[in-house]
Amino acid sequence: MVLPQWFECTHATASIPASRVPRLPTLYRKSIVEHSFLAYLRGRCRKLAQVTVGIGDDAAIIEPARGQQIACVDQIIDGVDFLSEKHALTDVGYKSVAINLSDIAAMGGTPTSILVTLSLPKQNSTRIAGEVYEGILEAASEFDLAIAGGDISTYDGPLAVSVTVLGTVERDQAFLRSGAQEGDAIMVSGAVGGSIRGRHLRPVPRLDLAQRLRQAVKVTSAIDISDGLSLDLDRLCATSGVGAELDTDKIPVHEDAGILSKSSGRTPFQHAWSDGEDFELLVTMSQSDADSLASQELGAPFTQIGNIVGRTGLWQRQQGKLKRLSPQGYIHESS
Ligand SMILES: [Mg+2]
């Protein structure tokens, strides 16, 4: 691996005899990392029109959004959301951006810039920051995001990466969780389940798909699947004050769910129902809009898995009877 340029900056800046470094106050040591880090980042970041003043001043200056500003933040922590001894830190950096982009996609927005905060364990902080940032820069380049700023600290704790994404959406055109109506079709993009086999590290945020969907139909509500199909559908329904009647056989099960089921003791369906981090889109639209999608090429499949109903909760019709489905995947009998 080619060392990032700021490794050299760090060494150049830290020309203080090594024996003196431990006596430096914490804040001074932080500033050594921070200054060399900023020098590295300035060299690596592309200049994009949306950010007038980026890294290197006290704050960023960002051009006002057309339409409405959209913003979200998500933090991932070693030992909670990933395992640094198992997962490549470049993947962790990429994921920290991509999971936020998935939220922007679920709102029907377009991301423009990011702010990044790294909390680094004291040991190997320079190497860790460099590797994480390789993935962040890769995602920024892939999705045309300006890195507008951020913060970096070292401490006695695990690696934590917090990314804030700013973006735009046309006025009053955002997809919300609250708009699902009785009779609407429930559609899911791609296939779900078993992302832990590796997909969760390199999620594909459905940004382009969401825009193509907007051109094709009127989306009445949307959410991205981060915590599991059933949990996120339950959240969407709860926010809209409705329920869902599902044709569970139609749920598109990812092949990873099938492979995982051979060793997990759970069925492929159970994985599809409750595994997290698929980062697919779950959307609702009128039944006629859903029917019209069958003949349109959006770049990824949308599958109808049921319809919105007035009765709250998740339901499955089996041999004429309604069964209540639990968002955790357990099925309880009901009349
Ligand atoms: Mg989300």
Condensed to tens digits (0 to 9), the pLDDT of residues 241-267 reads 999 999 999 999 999 999 999 999 999
- What is the pLDDT averaged over residues 99-126? 95
282: left (phi over 0), alpha (psi -120 to 50) or beta: beta
Query: If phi over 0 gives left and psi between -120 and 50 gives alpha, with beta otherwise, what is residue 315?
Result: beta
Q: What is the mean pLDDT of residues 95-116?
A: 97
Distance 294 CA to ligand 1 centre (A): 26
Q: Is the pLDDT of residue 300 over 50?
A: yes
- Residue-level pLDDT at 12: 31
CA dist 246 and 322 (Å) reads 10
Question: If you measure from the C-alpha of residue 307 to the centroid of ligand 1, how many angstroms do you get, rounded to a whole number?
Answer: 21
| Domain 5-169 grouped into CATH 3.30.1330.10 | yes
Inform me whether the pLDDT recorded for 120 exceeds 60: yes
Ligand 1 midpoint to CA 95 (Å): 14
* Ligand 1 centroid distance, CA of 1 (Å): 34
Domain boundaries along the sequence of the chain: 5-169, 177-332
Q: How far apart are CA 205 and CA 83, in angstroms?
A: 22
Q: Separation of 106 CA from ligand 1 center, angstroms? A: 7
Q: Is the pLDDT of residue 30 over 70?
A: no
End-to-end Cα distance, the chain: 61
pTM: 0.87
Residue 58, classified by CB atoms within 10 Å of its CB into exposed (0-12), middle (13-18) or buried (19+), is exposed
Q: How far is the CA of 281 from the centre of ligand 1 (A)?
A: 9
> Considering only CA atoms, which of 27, 32, 41, 42 is closest in space to residue 10?
32
Q: What confidence score (pLDDT) does residue 330 get?
A: 36
Ligand 1 centroid to Cα of residue 105, in Å, is 9
Express as a percent the part of the chain with pLDDT over 90: 72
Strands 243-246 and 302-309: antiparallel
Distance of CA 101 from the midpoint of ligand 1 (Å): 9
What is the average pLDDT across 106-125? 95
Cα 156 to averaged position of ligand 1 atoms, centre (Å) = 30
Lowest mean pLDDT among 54-63, 78-87, 317-326: 54-63
Q: Cα of 103 to ligand 1 centre, how many Å?
A: 5
**Run of H or E including 150:** strand 146-155
Which are the contacts of 115, defined by CB distance < 8 A and separation ≥ 6? 60, 147, 148, 149, 150, 163, 164, 166
Centroid of ligand 1 to alpha carbon of 226 (angstroms): 6
- Architecture of the domain whose range is 177-332: Alpha-Beta Complex (3.90)
97's CB contacts (< 8 A; 6+ apart) are 114, 135, 136, 139, 140, 143, 145, 163, 165
| Lowest mean per-residue pLDDT among 66-75, 91-100, 144-153, 306-315 | 144-153
CA of residue 137 to ligand 1 center, whole Å: 22
6-27 tens-digit pLDDT: 333 333 333 334 443 334 344 4
How remote is the CA of residue 225 from the centroid of ligand 1, in Å?
Answer: 7
